[in-house]
Amino acid sequence: MNQVVLRSLLRARTSELHEQLDRQVGEFASRADYADYVTNTHRFRSVIEASLPRSDLWQILPLADALVSDLSDLGVTSAAHRHTVDLGPSAGALGVYYVLEGSGVGARLLLRRAKAIGMSETHGARHLALQAGDTARWPQFLALLETVGPDQYDAIIDGSLATFRFALEAYHQGVS
């Protein structure tokens, strides 16, 4: 029951930011659009991965290295992003994971789009293939959410909102 309530709250509270991010990602109908997407995704993931607290509850699927390889395939030099971002109290880490794991669901669609412009699991779309390849992660994460008590909901929602806001910043104006 907790999962349904928490998941509904997360979806409702993040829907506007999620829609904005989907618009920022766009369709990437061209190689140039796709290169922008990969650059922005690397910008976001490299910082967010460095900012995550270590957790015994959940381990993210790191994508920063695959993104560097994808950028190289696209002829784009990846910039090092050494700073971190404050994602709020560690109790909100599940909110961060919610956004990152949810992006794996969307990666299936994005991988199809990338393939339509000549990318593949071994050239330019490694990070998407990694995300799309493990279909068990999302249900496993949802099962983890089921174990969370209502006293943690606000922190989790705040963590997810902070993550979406940071992603929008990375996609909109860039962070370094």
pLDDT tens track for 24-78: 888 888 999 999 999 999 999 999 998 887 778 899 999 999 999 999 999 998 8
- At residue 175 the predicted structure's pLDDT band, cuts being 50, 70 and 90, is very low
- At residue 86 the predicted structure's pLDDT band, cuts being 50, 70 and 90, is confident
Supply the pTM of this predicted model: 0.90
Q: Which domain holds residue 142?
A: 2-172
CATH of the domain at 152: 1.20.910.10
Burial 95-114 (b: 16+ CB within 10 A, else e): bbbbbbbbbbebbeebbebb
Q: How many domains does the chain have?
A: 1
Residue type, 36: D
Q: Which residues contact 93 (CB under 8 A, 6 or more apart)?
A: 52, 53, 55, 57, 58, 87, 159
Mean pLDDT of the chain: 89
State the distance between the two ends of the chain, measured CA to CA, in whole angstroms.
41
> Phi/psi at 124 (nearest 5 deg)?
85, -20
Helical pair 137-145 and 2-25, crossing angle rounded to 10 deg: 130
Of all residues in the chain, the percent with pLDDT exceeding 90 is 69
Write down the H helix ranges in 26-176: 31-51, 64-73, 93-116, 126-133, 137-145, 153-172
